Amino acid sequence: MKKRITPLLFVIMLCGKVNAQQPGAKDIDDKKQKMEWFANAKLGIFIHWGIYSVNGISESWSFFNNYINHDNYMKQLDGFTAANYRPEEWVKLIKESGAKYTVITTKHHDGVSLWNTKAIDATTTLKQSAAKKDVITPFIKAVKKSGLKTGIYFSLPDWSHPDYDGFTRDRKRYKLSEEPKRWNKFQKYLHTQMNELSVNFKPDLLWFDGDWEHSAEEWQAGKISADLKKYNPNIIINSRLNHHGDYETPEQGIPVLRPNSEYWELCYTMNDSWGYQPYDFKYKSPNMIVRTLVDCISMGGNLLLDIGPKADGTIATEQGNILKGLGRWTKKHAEAIYGTHAGLPAGHFNGKTALSADKKTLYLYADWVPDNGGLLLSGIRSAVRSAKIVGSDLKATFVTNGENISIKIPTSAADQDVTVIALKFDNPVEVNDQSLISLSFNDLTNKRADYKTQINNIASSLHNGVNPFKDTDLPTDGLDFEAGKKGLNPELYKWVTKNAESLYKTGKGLPEGHYQGASALSADKQTVYLFVEGKPTGPIALKGIKNKVSRIRIVGEGTMIEPEIYNKLYWSSVPGIVYIPLPKDRLDKDLTVVAVLLDGPIDLYREKVGAIESNL
């Protein structure tokens, strides 16, 4: 027999259920207060250091995956000297980068502990390595003296410990169900180490890894969390403790969409390796790293950028140069980094944006040198009070036309990586997503209008799904475009006919997150047209494209471009980033169009990312 539920009773039951599941106001306030420094920090430096740097091979995974056997892997202890290890110099370089916190590996999955742990059957750099040192203690001491926040990486699995069940991909030591006492011995080992880290180093943040190998109950995740909070009630824990953490940790792939969590951090390598690998030359440029940081800032997240020191304790020149290049930009633009919040929805500006805490300052990040058409902002309801170039004494000017704003800066004020403009408002910024640009052909026939603005408006209109040339006689090759000859400004006509391919029957562009500027799609959805403003400071980037790229060329003049793919990991479904370098001598003086031909109709990756699950 079914019970009848009245509407009032249903509402009462629903509210009760929601209240039971939702944290209380005090819990929310406490977490917000605890997470404040992390949310404001924006940049941290990750350090993967261990015996794997001796041979320059993958940390732990190289023996787990049987690329090298465990005995030979562990022989690297004999080459781990730390002979030139200067922790104060590391900290100085980290500070110079602009980072506000750092996270160092105290033990990876290989089970080699880098501090003087007293846990039974532990392998340590103090007792078993050539260094004969606890290398963590002096580093943490230098970190705390510097004012940086202290983060500790700790692997839950320990593939070398005799009482851990896992060993390699093909071998397990035992089944938990058959030898529970052995698992309990490992738990004692694990909790001993966790307590040592808490007592000895008093971390602000605990960065767990490897939780996929067991359930929360098997790890005793609740106990680990509770024990950590006994020593530090405000400790921050990442998401890799089986849902007992405070923030999400997407790995390697810059998110296309903002992650679900209010707090998140992208952990990211400079090349393709976490630890030092001498033959991994695929380093990203400082320009790429700066722009990755901006990408994270614009979505309200942090960047945790990794370095992998050598076995002797020195840091590779390439890595040091990237940190210094990053530091040049962060020092100059500090006000537009720390303490900012996620920016405007897509469509208002062809770059990244962020907002100040009070939402009264809007930061525009331009990774291109604007031409004399300036920077365009659309759909802004609020009145701008002032504009300035962050980190420069040169002046920015702006003109408001309804809800659209044009900003101009001296070319000499453009930053070599990302220029930042700060727009100040009297009240929190309000936007109008309904007023985004859409044009008809008649809107373009005012020959007195600024043709550069018209060109940019065409790109925006196409991106928004309104093609002003839909019902005209514009052919795909641009020849004999009679309506254009009669109605358009000669300079506008010249640009339209040169780039007609990208205007002929093209439709709505890429959704938010895949490309920062305006774009359009061919009728068969197999070619993406990217509209590129000004002179890019580095290669333009495409994210979240599942297709293979068949060909890239500059529209209207035919130059072929060879892209570079970064961060395409064989174990991950997240597509790599397609970086497209554009020769400066081939850029259009008004607006460059790049055609990206794919191997089929476009297929987009738009999952909201959280913590990585495994990288077997």
Per-residue pLDDT, averaged over 421-426, amounts to: 98
Distance CA 458, CA 507 (A): 12
Distance CA 540, CA 549 (A): 15
Please answer whether residues 474 and 483 qualify as being in contact, where contact means their C-beta atoms are separated by less than 8 angstroms. Answer: yes
- 302-307 and 341-342 strand pairing: unpaired
User: Which tens digits make up the pLDDT trace of 230-250?
Assistant: 999 999 999 999 888 999 999
Distance CA 367, CA 516 (A): 10
Minimum mean pLDDT range among 104-118, 289-303, 398-412? 398-412
User: Which tens digits make up the pLDDT trace of 511-548?
Assistant: 999 999 999 999 999 999 999 999 999 999 999 999 99
Question: Does position 2 have pLDDT exceeding 90, yes or no?
Answer: no
First to last CA, the chain: 51
Task: Look at residues 244, 117, 133, 105 and name the one whose alpha carbon lies nearest to residue 190.
Answer: 117
Question: Does position 137 have pLDDT exceeding 70, yes or no?
Answer: yes
Question: Does position 384 have pLDDT exceeding 70, yes or no?
Answer: yes
Q: Which long-range contacts (CB under 8 A, 24 or more apart) does 226-230 make?
A: 227/191, 227/194, 227/195, 227/198, 228/194, 228/198, 230/198
Question: Does position 12 have pLDDT exceeding 70, yes or no?
Answer: no
| Sheet-wide strand order for 564-566 | 540-542, 577-580, 564-566
Q: Which long-range contacts (CB under 8 A, 24 or more apart) does 546-551 make?
A: 546/575, 546/603, 546/604, 546/605, 547/598, 547/599, 547/600, 547/602, 547/603, 548/598, 548/599, 549/578, 549/596, 549/597, 549/598, 549/599, 550/597, 550/598, 550/599, 551/596, 551/597
pLDDT at 567: 87
Query: CA distances (Å), 90 to each of 130, 139, 237, in order?
Result: 21, 8, 24
Please answer whether residues 396 and 421 qualify as being in contact, where contact means their C-beta atoms are separated by less than 8 angstroms. Answer: yes
Helix (H) or strand (E) holding 331: helix 317-332
- Is 162 strand, coil or helix? coil
- 236-237 and 384-389 strand pairing: unpaired
CA 527 to chain centre: 26
Query: CA distances (Å), 49 to each of 80, 251, 274, 363, in order?
Result: 10, 18, 9, 36
Quick count: other Cβ atoms within 10 Å of Cβ 21? 7
Provide the 8-state DSSP code for 20: H
pLDDT at 609: 59
3-state secondary structure 380-436: ECCCEEEEEECCCCCECEEEEECCEEEEECCHHHCCCCCEEEEEEECCCCCECHHHC
- Is 196 strand, coil or helix? helix
Q: Rounded to two decimals, what is the model's pTM?
A: 0.93
User: Is residue 572 classed exposed, middle or buried when 0-12, 13-18 and 19+ CB atoms within 10 A define those classes?
Assistant: middle
pLDDT at 6: 38
Question: Does position 260 have pLDDT exceeding 90, yes or no?
Answer: no
Quick count: other Cβ atoms within 10 Å of Cβ 167? 18
In sequence order, the 6+-apart residues with CB closer than 8 A to the CB of 504 are 469, 474, 475, 476
- Average of per-residue pLDDT values in the chain: 92
User: Which tens digits make up the pLDDT trace of 157-201?
Assistant: 999 999 999 999 999 999 999 999 999 999 999 999 999 999 999
pLDDT at 23: 64
Report which residue type is found at 452: K
Please answer whether residues 598 and 549 qualify as being in contact, where contact means their C-beta atoms are separated by less than 8 angstroms. Answer: yes
Question: Does position 13 have pLDDT exceeding 90, yes or no?
Answer: no
Query: What number of helices (H) and strands (E) belong to the chain?
Result: 15, 26
Question: Does position 122 have pLDDT exceeding 60, yes or no?
Answer: yes
Quick count: other Cβ atoms within 10 Å of Cβ 29? 11
User: Which tens digits make up the pLDDT trace of 149-158?
Assistant: 999 999 999 9
Distance CA 101, CA 610 (A): 21
Question: Does position 128 have pLDDT exceeding 50, yes or no?
Answer: yes
Please answer whether residues 259 and 608 qualify as being in contact, where contact means their C-beta atoms are separated by less than 8 angstroms. Answer: yes
Q: What are phi and psi of 293, to 5 degrees?
A: -60, -45
pLDDT at 388: 97
Please answer whether residues 579 and 563 qualify as being in contact, where contact means their C-beta atoms are separated by less than 8 angstroms. Answer: yes
Per-residue pLDDT, averaged over 10-37, amounts to: 65
pLDDT tier, 365 (very low <50, low <70, confident <90, very high otherwise):
very high
Question: Does position 7 have pLDDT exceeding 70, yes or no?
Answer: no
Handedness of CA 466, 471, 477, 479 (dihedral sign): negative
Task: Look at residues 247, 290, 323 and name the one whose alpha carbon lies nearest to residue 90.
Answer: 323
pLDDT tier, 8 (very low <50, low <70, confident <90, very high otherwise):
very low
Beta strand spans in 82-222 (E): 101-107, 112-113, 123-124, 149-155, 205-209
